Structure 1
Amino acid sequence: MTAKLPLTLACNLYDRSLPLLTGQVEIEGCAVNFVPIAPEEAHARAFNGADFDVTEMSLSSHLLATSRGGSPYLALPAFISRAFRHSCIYIRKDSGLRTPADLRGKVMGVPEYQMTAAVWTRGIISDDYGVRSEEIAWRTGGLNMGGRKERMALDLPAGFDVRPIGDATALSDALVDGRIDALLTARAPACYDNGHPDIIRMFEDYRPLEEDWFRRTGIFPIIHAIGLRRDLAEQHRWLPRSVFKAFLQAKTLAQRNMWEMGFLTTSHPWLGDEARRLRDIMGEDPWPYGLEPNRKTVETLIRYAREQGLIHRAVTAEELVFPHVSDKAFAI
């Protein structure tokens, strides 16, 4: 009997990854050691040592590494994390800021300039509100505790004002005391979570804006992909398809559970109503895998990264994401 290939797999526990942990879905030909891990740690360990054979990874960090001559990972089009981003802008009530158009000439905090959530939010600010990234001064650092650094070194063109806010300063505190005018962050800052009376989202009612943006663009922003170490992919040519197939099957099972109304698999009493609303807006497969169903989304992220000074050469979708797997070939 042929021995199974041992694989370490690092990923956050999502409904769409859980079947790989429980063993409900297996990666063909592999003995998997699933390491549940927070995304930020997975990203850091992916690009500072390629610690895991298969890993959840930041698509923007992978894009920067690819544009500079190579990433240690092959990005499979199993887009494990996605999110709309109109909810990511926080301001003070007395700031006078009403829409992203008011951010021109202001100072805005962000944990990392290169993080994927920031790339998408800045792209929306540029496309829909006419404010380019270089028209805002950016201050980077820890969200609720000082000291966070950029995961990937920045090489920005002249004209971009991007600087650390300082190791002793948390961005949440800087927003409260006015050292920054606004804050862009995927995770809510402590000042907002703790109910500070002066801190609000720029768009508190963000869902209608995000639904409208999807209807207009057809884009559901990709945040993280599944990475497979390149050396393993070159050594075992069958492996990219087997890994992709497993993640596709796990996602399909998660979606079936979401649509199941006979018994609720998620702790939400009106899940059926949510599911119908989701279908009406985004169709039967709101979370598509594969490159072709996501080509516009991938190419938009590449365009945004170039406009924001993060990459300095053209990168194709096929260069960024492994194209030789299909969301149709392995459906269950």
Structure 2
Amino acid sequence: MTKIQLSVACAAYDRTRSVWDGDVSIDGVDLIYNTVEPEEAFHRAFKFGEFDITEMSMSSHTMMTSRGENDYVGVPAFLSRVFRHSGIYIRTDRGIKTPADLAGKKVGLPEYQITANVWIRGILEDEYGLRPESVHWRRGGVEEPGRGERAPIALPKEIDLQQIPDDRSLSQMLATGEIDAVIGARAPSCFLQGAPNVGRLFSDYRAAEEDYFRRTRIFPIMHMIGIRRSLVEKYPWLPVNVYKAFLQSKENAVHSIGEICHLMATLPWVAHQWEEARKLMGEDYWPYGYDKNKHVIDAFVRYHHAQGLSKRLVDSKELFHPSTLDISKI
């Protein structure tokens, strides 16, 4: 069979390396691989359609699917997953001791719609009763002033979301006390530099995240793989072949983590951490596939709609090509 030449864009994760370096191929595809930071891949794919296969934001994919405007079809290979209790940074001099204390506070975020913030708000509401409308949201760049939403959003009228001044960053405003907290995927530099009166809401975030997983069995999904819709219509075999390749690449990465004779990651006790993750989360602690993750995806689409980012409640199956929904049976 003559191979088709396709471009792919995603970050240089250990779990994608086998596809990147050619140890694992996508059957029927001659791949042009672009190592791109996630935010850049999202922007170039959704705004300009530059890539045939791309890492995708779970939030952007859900939003565009709800609008019927999505040029990409999802594949349940979840390249990025992160517990998000660690992503809440606070002024420690404002009486914020529990999540409920964020009510009435000014909380900064880089974008209302990013996946990390959908998860954080959903967890804060589900677990601690903090409703999004009880918070004064302030949007802007974490380090660089002037950031706005990557795609237009129309939030419920009860949500107070305001842009910060164009000459200010969220990190600056948290350091000076102009805002009370920041949520997001990246730590503000004022926290990393040890600014006075800046800390995490969950100081022992690992314990909080482990407890959350024990109770909910949710390991939050951030990013997935998408394929250009027009290509899937032309080559219906493509979604499953892409899924199988990225699954094998992930399995190769997990195997290498457990190699204690020669450490593949630059951490002294990486094999011990691998064993601890398996004890808590099971052998397949970073699962791909729809069935194994349905409860996680269902929670996310519920949060997304409740927070006003989806025009309608999306059925989680809509996010993926039908051929990949029962991939475990192949």
The Cα shift of 1:46 comes to 1.7
After TM superposition, the structure 1 = structure 2 runs for residues 103-122 of structure 1, keeping only pairs within 5 Å, are 103-122=102-121
After TM superposition, the structure 1 = structure 2 runs for residues 96-245 of structure 1, keeping only pairs within 5 Å, are 96-245=95-244
SS at 2:100 equivalent: helix
Tell me, in whole angstroms, the C-alpha distance in 1 between the residues paired with 2:30 and 2:166. Answer: 42
- TM-score (ref. length: structure 2): 0.97
Instruction: Report how many aligned residue pairs link the two structures.
Output: 329
Identity across matched positions, percent: 47
* Aligned partner letter, 1:127: D
Q: For residue 45 of structure 1, what is the aligned residue in structure 2?
A: 44
The Cα shift of 1:192 comes to 1.0
The Cα shift of 1:214 comes to 0.4
* Aligned partner letter, 1:95: R
Cα displacement string for residues 94-140 of structure 1 (whole angstroms, at most 9, x for unaligned residues): 12111111011111100010000000000111011101111111111
Which runs of structure 1 show a deviation greater than 6 angstroms over 4 or more consecutive aligned residues?
none
Tell me, in whole angstroms, the C-alpha distance in 2 between the residues paired with 1:322 and 1:116. Answer: 21
The Cα shift of 1:20 comes to 1.0
Tell me, in whole angstroms, the C-alpha distance in 2 between the residues paired with 1:166 and 1:321. Answer: 39
The Cα shift of 1:30 comes to 0.7
The Cα shift of 1:270 comes to 1.4
The Cα shift of 1:262 comes to 2.7
Q: Within the alignment, does 1:301 sit opposite 2:296 as a pair?
A: no
SS at 1:150 equivalent: coil
- TM-score (ref. length: structure 1): 0.96
Where structure 2 has 5 or more consecutive residues not aligned to the other structure, the ranges are: none
The Cα shift of 1:274 comes to 1.1
Where structure 1 has 5 or more consecutive residues not aligned to the other structure, the ranges are: none
The Cα shift of 1:327 comes to 5.2
Tell me, in whole angstroms, the C-alpha distance in 1 between the residues paired with 2:195 and 2:328. Answer: 48
The Cα shift of 1:198 comes to 2.2
**RMSD, aligned CA:** 1.2
The Cα shift of 1:323 comes to 4.0
The Cα shift of 1:166 comes to 2.9
The question of whether the paired residues in 1 share the 8 Å contact of 2:63 and 2:311 is answered with: no
From the superposition, tell whether residues 226 and 232 of structure 1 become closer, same or farther in structure 2 (CA, over 3 Å): same
Q: For residue 321 of structure 1, what is the aligned residue in structure 2?
A: 320
* Aligned partner letter, 1:38: E
* Aligned partner letter, 2:274: A
Q: Within the alignment, does 1:269 sit opposite 2:268 as a pair?
A: yes
Cα displacement string for residues 19-40 of structure 1 (whole angstroms, at most 9, x for unaligned residues): 1111111111111111000111
Cα displacement string for residues 27-77 of structure 1 (whole angstroms, at most 9, x for unaligned residues): 111111110001111111121121100000101011111111131110110
* Aligned partner letter, 1:175: L
The Cα shift of 1:313 comes to 1.2
The question of whether the paired residues in 1 share the 8 Å contact of 2:240 and 2:327 is answered with: no
Tell me, in whole angstroms, the C-alpha distance in 2 between the residues paired with 1:218 and 1:186. Answer: 21
